[in-house]
A and B are shown apart, each in its own frame.
Chain A
Amino acid sequence: MLAKRCNKLRERIVERIFSVSGAITTIAIVLIVVFLFREGFGLFGSSTIENGYSLFVNAKNDISSLSPTDTKRIFDGEITDWRDVGGKAGEIKVFRFDEIFNLYSEDAFGDNYALLPDKLAEVIDNNPTIIAFLPDKYAPKPSSVVKRLTDRRITAADFVLGTQWLPTATPSPLYGMLPLILGTLLVSLFAVILALPLGLGVAVYLSELSDNRIRRIMKPAVELLAGIPSVVYGFFGLAVLVPLVQRTFALPVGETAFSAGIVLAIMALPTIISVAEDALRSISPAMREASLALGATKWQTIYRVVIPCAKSGLLAAIVLGIGRAVGETMAVLMVSGNAAVMPHSLFESVRTIPATIAAELGEAPSDGTHYQALFMLGCILFIFTSIVSIAAEIITKKHHTSKEL
């Protein structure tokens, strides 16, 4: 009686432990996603000008605000006339805060730099075509002579459609993720195009055509490859593939989307092969026998019966392969060249989203827009992979329902 009671109690405790651990895991995952998006979305609505700084112009200037790209080009000296940004003609005079110390001696600023704002105002007043990049702390009050340019906010369009990723540019960092997302797409697409036919082909070979002995050696070998750390693949890519690509195609640098795609394809192969082979082998021999007994050839049996039967498993293999290609960081960081510019061909350096996050997060101050932009990139990546797996889910479901109709 007592023993039975003890047993029941134990069962209930075990049950509790399982449900609690399930709940904790789910909550943790949800919280991570919420955190990711909360940090990421902080980017939108932040000022396009570096935190704690503002831009000032002479009050007579009709410009009242500048886009981040124009700001950047003005400070880079690419735009030199106000006409080009919609103002009255006049050569732009760029003024950075530090320059005030060349114009006045220390004494002129008074105690604790109390007079500094007045001096800055004086400078702005004297130069009608000036644009001054000043810290808010010493900024002159807007007045009849000084005009503070209205802040622009970073918009989703700036982020999604921007073609320049210059997170450390001053005064106006640019967070255009288009080069990164195109880099990611280019590299992953190339990798997937390489890896899918190869991987599925090897899976069909292993499960349908090879004899037992070969499979017994090859299957574990392939699975072993899946366990090699990505940095090792990256190292291999850097040491072998990059020089090879550089020489073969006579390129200035071998670190290109092409090399990265090949390394990624090699990395995705073991996953694709292993999952796809399992899917094919799980098809009952009765299906193959039924087909062969009707006079179908081996090949007809494979592509008319075995592959359609294993469709959902094969799809899983494809999705896992794509997931690996899209999310892979280290190896790509090592062989892609990391140039955050709009890619035009496979034989250029590119930068992917994960590589960007890995390379830059350490240098981004945790309250700044750069940090938030990196989180936003993380969100994009997350959305990206979710779309892939949801699409796969829908396709599999469609397949299943048509089976049950």
Chain B
Amino acid sequence: MKSTNNKIISAKHINFFYKEFHALKDINLEISSQSVTAFIGPSGCGKSTFLRLFNRMNDLIHGTRIEGLCLVEGENIYAKGVDTDRLRKKVGMVFQKPNPFPKTIFENVAYGLRVNGMGDKQFISQRVETSLRSAALWEEVKDKLHKSAYALSGGQQQRLCIARALAVEPSILLMDEPASALDPISTARIEELIVRLKQNYTILIVTHNMQQASRISDQTGFFMMGELVEFGSTKQIFTAPEREQTYNYISGHFG
């Protein structure tokens, strides 16, 4: 059941609960492929929760519940019998803090391939190289592939985590404040990278940094208190928001 348009993600009447807490309220949106979508909003507004719906990462939290329809490439990912491991291969994720494994740089990137039983030695080393090149890290680490990932700087570690996610060739990349723990130079490099990756991937990014959202995204969603207040093209959200709350937030009146 492939969707006829090129909407790779669509959410219909999503309600989400942490036990009794109503964290997401009736969210509706559609995202087309090969675009960057930014989610902004004050802390605790539900934007990260929303992001983590698409690779079912919220399943790990005890006592959560979802209502509504969540489609990825036309498939209801919360239907019975959906293989979350397969879904997560298709929908990669980069976390707020760089979280490389205590393994070598090479093994970090190869991990996703190994656990999915993909390919022989040569295939893996080929894929590791292309992934590191895509993450703009290859030149910096090609001579120390077999050193620990912990020897890298924070920014390099985050790019390594991006390479790790790219290695399994997802079609969608979820990024949960990927640059918030990094210095400005590393942040700039990650942003460049995101813009470049857009050609091949659909990227959803949560950020606290509104300049970042305006620089890199095609469309932006503004969340507040579990509601998607406004969703539209980034240009429109930042220049002519329809809702007053959006205007107040992006102009720095609160949050």
Chain A residues near B (Cβ < 8 Å): 211-212, 284-297, 300, 304-305, 308-309, 402-405
Contact = CB atoms under 8 A, between A and B. Distances in A.
B94 to A, nearest CB: 9
B101 A293 contact: no
Nearest to B161: A290
A308 B60 CA distance: 21
A295 B148 contact: no
A286 B60 CA distance: 12
Contact of A295 (B57, B85, B102, B161): B85
B247 interface: no
A289 B168 contact: no
Contacts of A290: 95, 99-101, 161, 164
Given A293-B93, A295-B85, 5 more contacts: A291-B101, A291-B115, A295-B88, A296-B115, A402-B148
Interface in B28-86: 55, 57, 60, 62, 85-86
Contacts of A405: 146-148, 151
Interface in B131-176: 146-148, 150-151, 161, 164-165, 168
Interface of A, helix, strand, loop or mixed by DSSP: helix
25 contacts: A212-B62, A284-B99, A286-B95, A289-B99, A290-B164, A291-B115, A292-B57, A292-B88, A293-B55, A293-B88, A293-B92, A294-B112, A294-B116, A295-B85, A295-B86, A295-B112, A295-B116, A295-B168, A296-B85, A296-B112, A296-B115, A305-B101, A403-B102, A404-B148, A404-B151
A289 B103 CA distance: 16
B99 A294 contact: no
A215 B218 CA distance: 46
Nearest to A297: B85
Contacts of A402: 148
B189 interface: no
A293 B57 contact: yes
A305 to B, nearest CB: 6
Nearest to A295: B89
B88 A294 contact: yes
A72 B86 CA distance: 76
B208 interface: no
Contacts of A404: 148, 150-151
B97 A294 contact: no
Interface string B92-133: 110101011111000000011011100000000000000000
A313 B125 CA distance: 32
A214 to B, nearest CB: 13
Given A290-B99, A294-B165, A300 B115 contact: yes
A295 B147 contact: no
Given A403-B148, A405-B147, A295 B115 contact: yes
B165 A293 contact: yes
Contacts of A285: 60
